[in-house]
Structure 1
């Protein structure tokens, strides 16, 4: 059941807290929300406390009056604020894309709050091809009438990166990504995220993340990669594995950025990760 809490600046943020066991804080990608982790809740609520957060400006959380607060440092503070709100000293993090970047930032400054980190299709280097693709749609409504129209388009346009995904699966994906409105599908995030990303790119605000990945030393780490990813290259994943030969690793066939986390390979990696942090 969705709940709200106040961040330290008063902005109301939405979260969901279900299951029992090791606390697993789920952080979604740039424009995404807690619904991305429904498969994780379905498969692991009997063995983990699955905590899903809508970052500020996403999903059911409040939009920040200052779009420059959509940054990794601020969002990391929000994640810690939720742990504090729930009375948790430490948690494992499952971070998809930007959520994984947040986890690595926390590893540098707040490693004592982490039980471990599972990264979903993200690493210390972000492939420029993927960034260009994201900027092509970021902050723009999709121009689709409803979820059925979205499923039809996604089945066609995503065939190269997600071959064989059914229209029913794409419809479920569309439900998680957009809202249905009288005038067509609407964004489930603050469109000013585009301004925040553009400003950060202009100032080169994204730091070198290799030291932050290395800050995970001594903690259980897992990596899930879509075999067709245009964000996490095979070369970057190989370097991550070289630096952390003990890292749990799964490459998901027929998936791009990002795996849905319902695939057998993804579920096996998460299961092994939860065993490692228990």
Structure 2
């Protein structure tokens, strides 16, 4: 299994397709790991060199309790594979990292795609009563250090959305959603400290000069929906897409829909 040693960590990564083709860097959500992109890999590798990695605290990456930069880790993976420029595609937390990378290293980013993401420094948004109650449950599980319960509660509120019931959803998707976060439990007591981008990306996304696709699931959290509206109206070359009948992981729940939109957008912009 390919690992890349970086200061204080061993990053697990995978590369698919031919290195001569345009590069895509996929960054997973904070309730998943790089396996969340499995549904898209076969289609994306037809015309692209597809790279993905587990960020610190997730999947098969291991880390010491050190300060680190997610942007530096991402660039280390690209450098290791000889990629000078890539279209960066990130979901949730991974989209925030992708935005930071586009802001801090514009020369390395050819295009930007976010799924259910917001920029660092985005103002706090008032939760709905239902969302607030669900997060209280998550806080209680954290305080009790019940990591398995915590992982399950996190997956439920984010992947299913606060307005949908688990029993009404596709059982295969429900199983996949839980599994994607379950494997992260082994990292529960790791404490690497992420160095944030300063100043935050919130006031800097107006400087992003590459084609940008901003997407979200219609049943995502209220704060995520607000961040979507901000990005799609603020990033200069942004276009937007709302994926119907899905929440925080549309590429897992509705892979064909995401694949169609993503491949069309990449072709439109020659990326």
Change over 3 Å in CA distance of 1:236–1:98 after alignment to 2: closer
Q: How many Å separate the matches in 1 of 2:189 and 2:164? A: 26
Change over 3 Å in CA distance of 1:159–1:114 after alignment to 2: closer
Q: How many Å separate the matches in 1 of 2:117 and 2:249? A: 9
- 2:204 corresponds in structure 1 to 212
1:166 equivalent to 2:170? Answer yes
Q: How many Å separate the matches in 1 of 2:223 and 2:264? A: 21
The Cα shift of 1:235 comes to 4.1
Q: Matches of residues 13-24 of structure 1 in structure 2 within 5 Å?
A: 13-20=11-18, 21-24=21-24
The Cα shift of 1:253 comes to 1.6
1:104 equivalent to 2:108? Answer no
Q: Matches of residues 129-144 of structure 1 in structure 2 within 5 Å?
A: 129=127, 133=135, 136=139, 140-143=146-149
Structure 2 unaligned spans of 5+: none
SS class of match (2:241): strand
Superposition CA RMSD, Å:
3.4
The Cα shift of 1:277 comes to 4.5
Q: How many Å separate the matches in 2 of 1:103 and 1:159? A: 23
**TM-score normalised by structure 1 residue count:** 0.76
The Cα shift of 1:252 comes to 1.2
Q: How many Å separate the matches in 2 of 1:31 and 1:234? A: 18
1:272 aligned residue (260, 264, 271): 264
Q: Give a deviation string over 1:157-213, Cα, whole Å, max 9, x none.
A: 94754564211221122222214xxxxxx71534445x959xx9xxx9885422332
- 1:39 corresponds in structure 2 to 39
Q: How many Å separate the matches in 2 of 1:259 and 1:206? A: 30
1:85 equivalent to 2:89? Answer no
The Cα shift of 1:119 comes to 0.4
Q: How many Å separate the matches in 1 of 2:94 and 2:161? A: 25
Q: How many Å separate the matches in 2 of 1:277 and 1:76? A: 25
**TM-score normalised by structure 2 residue count:** 0.77
Between stretches 38-47 and 231-240, larger displacement belongs to 231-240
SS class of match (2:94): helix
- Give the aligned length: 251
Q: How many Å separate the matches in 2 of 1:140 and 1:196? A: 22
Structure 1 unaligned spans of 5+: 145-149, 180-185
The Cα shift of 1:54 comes to 0.4
Contact 1:15-1:51 at 8 Å conserved across structures:
yes
Q: Matches of residues 1-278 of structure 1 in structure 2 within 5 Å?
A: 2-7=1-6, 9=7, 11-20=9-18, 21-66=21-66, 68-69=67-68, 74-124=69-119, 125=122, 127=125, 129=127, 133=135, 136=139, 140-143=146-149, 154=156, 158=160, 160-162=162-164, 164-179=168-183, 187-192=185-190, 207-217=199-209, 219-230=210-221, 232-244=223-235, 246-261=237-252, 263=254, 264-275=256-267, 276-278=269-271
Between stretches 110-119 and 170-179, larger displacement belongs to 170-179
